[in-house]
């Protein structure tokens, strides 16, 4: 029996708890994989390897949009629809951990009131630890744990529009971009790169007096998508209008997601995407492990402050600094 820090559950207890869908044990397992302690990391990798056969079956969705677009409201309503249809839904909210304080905004359960109280739903903030690697590493592993626990729809919510969104798009099956209609300047509200990786665009808050503006914005985005490169040969990203608050057209949203899955499965793109994601996960982990190994090397730790000072002061070329660090770590180039 493997124990953690002379206290926590055994490895077998983690495995059995997650496989049985025990939400408390799932939460503890996620905390385990998020830990930076070496002994926790070793146990976490054994846990993930043991659970690997039970992963991969869920629908993985990414949802992004600028702050105020209504992501949480939409996910709350959409998630409740899915639960009512018999699905088990996990929501992972990628959290903007402060680089300065290490704190993070963990208010997702208060913003998804109904879903947070639903027995067949699970909401978990996924701290980034201030790094893009934190997004990819922790969120991918948390997704795997949720799949092993029996959640068949996993929604990854991101906080805004930026590099973390690109990272999330590379780990999900379907990437949804939520937008708002604006005063004739809709196309300036989001980066071209985000539009290019979207599997669908939904103009939210298409209710009340805003319906006409939302439809106009949707038409503008449809026109914009016509001139952008489409990376998929079997799917053209649609643009629809929805209202998360009023549960309007969220059924259409789900239909489009299922149609996307069918189209990419038939063409073979779905399997290829999952394979690329698995290799990307491995490469990200390799980069993280190499960096961790380098930083933990006593010779590097002793010399690194001096190297950084020399680079900062312009006395040492960054390329030569890297060469010296790798040499100290015993890594040949």
CATH of the domain at 226: 3.40.50.300
CA dihedral 319, 323, 328, 333 (to 10 degrees): 150
Residue 252 lies in a domain: yes
Non-local CB neighbours of 156 within 8 Å, separated by 6+ positions = 60, 61, 62, 63, 91, 92, 93, 94, 126, 139, 143, 168, 171, 172
Please tell me the predicted confidence (pLDDT) of residue 96. 54
Element holding 214 (H helix, E strand):
helix 211-226
pLDDT, residue 2, reads: 44
Are residues 83 and 173 both part of a single domain? yes
Do 179 and 190 contact (CB within 8 A), yes or no? yes
Cα separations (Å) of 14 from 11, 74, 100, 268? 5, 32, 33, 35
Q: Which of 9, 33, 54 is the last residue of a domain?
A: 54
CATH number of residue 6's parent domain:
1.20.5.170
181 vs 189: CA distance, rounded Å: 9
Q: State residue 180 phi and psi, 5-degree precision.
A: -115, 150
| Residue 273 lies inside a defined structural domain of this protein | no
Looking at the fold, whether 286 and 262 belong to one and the same domain comes out as no
Instruction: List the strands of the sheet with 89-95, edge to edge.
Output: 121-127, 89-95, 153-157, 59-64, 174-179, 200-203, 239-241
- Report the alpha-carbon distance of residue 54 to residue 46 in Å, rounded: 14
User: Does some domain include residue 275?
Assistant: no
Q: Which of 34, 54, 74 is the last residue of a domain?
A: 54
Residues 88 and 38 in one domain: no
Residue 271 lies in a domain: no
| Predicted structure pTM score | 0.85
Residue 237 falls inside a structural domain: yes
pLDDT of residue 178: 92
In the three-class reduction of DSSP (H, G, I as helix; E, B as strand; rest coil), residue 201 is classed as strand
Q: 161 and 116 in one domain?
A: yes
Report how many domains make up the chain.
Answer: 3
Answer yes or no: do 236 and 308 share one domain. no
- Is residue 313 one of the residues assigned to a domain? yes
86 and 233 share one domain = yes
- Ramachandran quadrant class, 178 (left: phi over 0; alpha: psi -120 to 50; beta: rest): beta
Instruction: Give CA–CA dist 217/229, Å, rounded.
Output: 20
- Residue 106 belongs to a domain: yes
Residue 194's domain spans which residues? 56-266
CB 72 within 8 A of CB 112: yes
For residue 281, give Cα distances in angstroms to 46, 171, 228, 277, 319. Answer: 16, 8, 28, 6, 27
According to the model, what pLDDT value does residue 162 have? 61
Profile the chain (333 residues) by mean pLDDT over runs of 10 residues.
Answer: 59 96 95 86 93 95 89 95 98 63 46 90 74 63 95 88 75 93 53 80 94 93 83 90 96 98 96 92 83 89 95 95 93 77
Residues 44 and 104 in one domain: no
Neighbouring C-alpha atoms within 13 Å toward the C-beta of 193: 8
Burial call 270-305: b when 16+ CB within 10 Å, e when fewer: beeeeeebeeebeebbeeeeeeeebeebeebeeebe
The dihedral through the CA atoms of 259, 260, 262, 267 has a sign that is positive
Q: Are residues 153 and 102 in the same domain?
A: yes
Tell me: do 165 and 87 sit in the same domain.
yes
3-state class (DSSP) for residue 114 = helix
CB 294 within 8 A of CB 325: yes
* Co-location of 27 and 110 in the same domain: no
Q: Is residue 276 part of a domain?
A: no
199 with 182, same domain: the answer is yes
**Co-location of 85 and 111 in the same domain:** yes
Closest CA to 26 of 128, 123, 145, 111: 145
């Amino acid at each position: 029996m493997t124990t953690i820090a002379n206290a926590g559950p055994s490895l077998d207890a983690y495995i059995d708890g997650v496989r049985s869908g025990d939400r408390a044990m799932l939460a503890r397992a996620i905390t385990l994989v998020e830990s930076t302690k070496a002994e926790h990391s070793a146990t976490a990798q054994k846990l993930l390897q043991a659970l690997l056969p039970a992963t991969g079956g869920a629908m993985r969705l990414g949802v992004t949009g600028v702050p105020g677009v209504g992501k949480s409201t939409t996910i709350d309503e959409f998630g409740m629809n899915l639960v009512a249809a018999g699905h088990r839904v996990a929501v992972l909210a990628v959290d903007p951990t402060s680089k300065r304080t290490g704190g993070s905004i963990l208010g997702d359960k208060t913003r998804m009131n109904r879903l947070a109280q639903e027995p067949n739903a699970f909401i978990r903030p996924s701290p980034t630890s201030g790094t893009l690697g934190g997004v990819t590493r922790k969120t991918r592993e948390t997704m795997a744990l949720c799949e092993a626990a029996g959640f068949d729809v996993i929604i990854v919510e991101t906080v805004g529009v930026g590099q973390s969104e690109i990272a999330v798009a590379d780990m999900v099956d379907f990437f949804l971009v939520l937008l708002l209609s604006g005063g004739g300047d809709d196309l300036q509200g989001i980066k071209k790169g985000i539009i290019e990786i979207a599997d669908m665009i939904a103009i939210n808050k298409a209710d009340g007096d805003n319906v006409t503006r939302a439809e106009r914005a949707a038409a503008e985005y449809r026109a914009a998508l016509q001139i952008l490169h489409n990376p998929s040969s079997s799917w053209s990203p649609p643009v629809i209008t929805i209202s998360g608050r009023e549960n309007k057209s969220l059924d259409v949203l789900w239909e489009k997601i299922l149609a996307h899955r069918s189209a990419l499965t038939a063409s073979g793109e779905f399997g290829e995407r999952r394979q690329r994601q698995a290799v990307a996960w491995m490469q990200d982990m390799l980069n993280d492990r190499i960096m961790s190994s380098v930083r933990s090397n006593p010779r590097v730790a002793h010399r690194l402050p001096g190297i950084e000072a020399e680079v900062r002061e312009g006395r040492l070329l960054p390329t030569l600094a890297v060469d010296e660090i790798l040499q100290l770590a015993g890594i040949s180039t």
